Amino acid sequence: MSAPTPMSGQFARFAVSPARRRKDKLARAAITACTVIALIPLGLVVYYLLSKGLGSWSWSFLSTDPTGNTFFKASSIGGIKSAILGTVEIVALASAIAIPIGIGVAVWLVEYGRASGFAKVVRFFVDVLTGVPSIVFGLFIYIVLIVGTGSSYAGYKGSFALALLMLPVVIRSAEVILLLIPDALRESALALGAPRWRVIFSIVLPTALPGMVTGVLLAIARAAGETAPLLFTAAATDKTNLNLGQFMNSLPVQIYKDVTSPTTAVVNRAWGAALTLVAMILLLNLIARLISRRSRLA
């Protein structure tokens, strides 16, 4: 066999045929190329966000409300203050709803429900929730809280829609972490004569806390970027409004509104708002990753 590379003595006759070698090289190159291609959009998105968005950033951009005067010059269209505050408020309320409920359900699944038939049904429904498109959550809340009550859009209704979206994420991630906690830990606490509720609150939850924080932060990050569930629940408004019972602006909805504008200045505001939103979400992701790296369950 004539190997292309010099093979010393004995091994030459075991050399891989050139055809096989070529195929291997080709396949490896293709796989590597695909990986590079996969990362190109990330680079481009980040590059455009920075190059277009940073230009919009200024103190007045962050500290003034949008004016709605989309046909005037750039200085009069206003900033994104109401959108930032609205996003923070809506997401905060959504977290306050989804996190306790989600962790409660996860605790029930792991500590009480286990492999029972009812637990299987609950898991199935959580899976169903996971797959529901985010806009359908908006429709659900619209039907129940707007058609059902005959009232109009409000910030808290947006929070409910986002909470529905967060719920399966929180349940799933908390359940995964709770399952990682060794049974020996629960058993040793039970064997000390601790009632189950004390085992859960004093042993299981504190041990699981760092891991659950990671999942929760990722859920919050996800909810913060959602537009569709807010469109017909919290709606949009230009003015800063701290009352969750009223129309409320948010960053994603602001961006969505601005994208369709023919005015360059307004589109630039969308870039600035997008950069702000992505920065907030990446920050949450970063914190989540740092926490999860620090707490590896034994």
Partner 1 sequence: MNTAAMPGGDRPILARSPLARLPDRALKYGLTILAALILALIVYFFVRLVGQARPAFAHAGVFGFTFNNDWNVSGEKFGALPLVVGTLITSGLALLIGVPIAVATALYANELCPLRLRAALTVLVELLAAVPSVVYGLWGIFFLAPKLQPVEQWFANRLSFIPFIGGDSVTIPNYFVAGLILAIMILPIVSAISREVMATVPADHKEAALGLGATRWEMIRTAVLPYCRAGIVGGAMLGLGRAIGETIAVTIVIGDAPGLGKHLFGQGYSLAAVIANEFGEAQGLHRSALFAAGLVLFVLTLLVNGVARVLVSRASHPSKTPSAPQAAVGPGQVAGAVAGA
Partner 2 sequence: MTPDGTSPQVADMEPESRTGLGRERIAPQTGAPADAHPVAPADAAGTVETKQGLSVTLEQLKAFYGDAEQVKGIDLDFRANEVTAIIGPSGCGKSTMVRCINRMHEEIPGAHAEGRVLLDDADVYDPSVDVVAVRRAIGMVFQKPNPFPTMSVFDNVAAGLRLGSGGRGGRGKADLHAKVEGALRAAGLWDEMSDRLSEPGAGLSGGQQQRLCIARSLAVEPEVILMDEPCSALDPIATLKIEELIDELKKRVTIVIVTHNMQQAARVADRTAFMLSGELVEVGPTQEIFTKPNDSRTEEYVTGKFG
Give CA separation, 65 vs 38, 57, 80, 230, 231, in Å: 37, 14, 5, 19, 19
**Residues 259-298 within binding reach of partner 2 (CB under 8 A):** 298
Q: Is 31 strand, coil or helix?
A: helix
Tokens standing for residue 62: 């962050």
Contact letters (x/-) for partner 2, 109-138, by CB under 8 A? -----xx-----------------------
CA neighbor of 297 nearest in space, from 193, 212, 181: 181
Alpha carbon distances (Å) from 124 to 45, 120, 138: 36, 6, 21
Q: Which of partner 1, partner 2, none binds 269 (CB below 5-8 Å, type-dependent)? A: none
Q: Which does 19 bind (CB under 5 to 8 A by kind): partner 1, partner 2, none?
A: none
**What is the closest distance, in whole angstroms, from the C-beta atom of residue 73 to partner 1 in the complex?**
20
274 binds, among partner 2, partner 1, none (CB under 5 to 8 A by kind): partner 1
182 binds partner 2 (CB under 8 A): yes
User: Collapsing DSSP states into helix, strand and coil, what is residue 78?
Assistant: strand
Q: Given the structure tokens 């792991």, which residue do they identify?
A: 110
Kindly state whether residue 55 participates in binding partner 2, applying the rule CB under 8 A: no
Q: Residues binding partner 2: what is the number (CB under 8 A)?
A: 22
Q: Is the four-CA dihedral 291, 173, 279, 241 of positive or negative sign? A: negative
Site string for partner 2, 183-222 (x = CB under 8 A): -xxxxxxxxxxxx--xx--xx--xx---------------
**Which of partner 1, partner 2, none sits in contact with 103, Cβ below 5 to 8 A by type?**
none
Of 93 and 200, which has the nearer Cβ to partner 1?
A: 200
Name residue 55's amino acid. Answer: G
Residue 202's binding partner, choosing from partner 2, partner 1, none, with beta-carbon cut-off 5 to 8 A by kind?
A: partner 2
Closest contact distance (angstroms) between CB of 284 and partner 2 is 25
DSSP letter at 16? P
Distance CA 126, CA 174 (A): 13
As a whole number of angstroms, the distance between CA 227 and CA 162 comes to 10
The contact set with partner 2 (CB under 8 A) reads 114-115, 182, 184-195, 198-199, 202-203, 206-207, 298
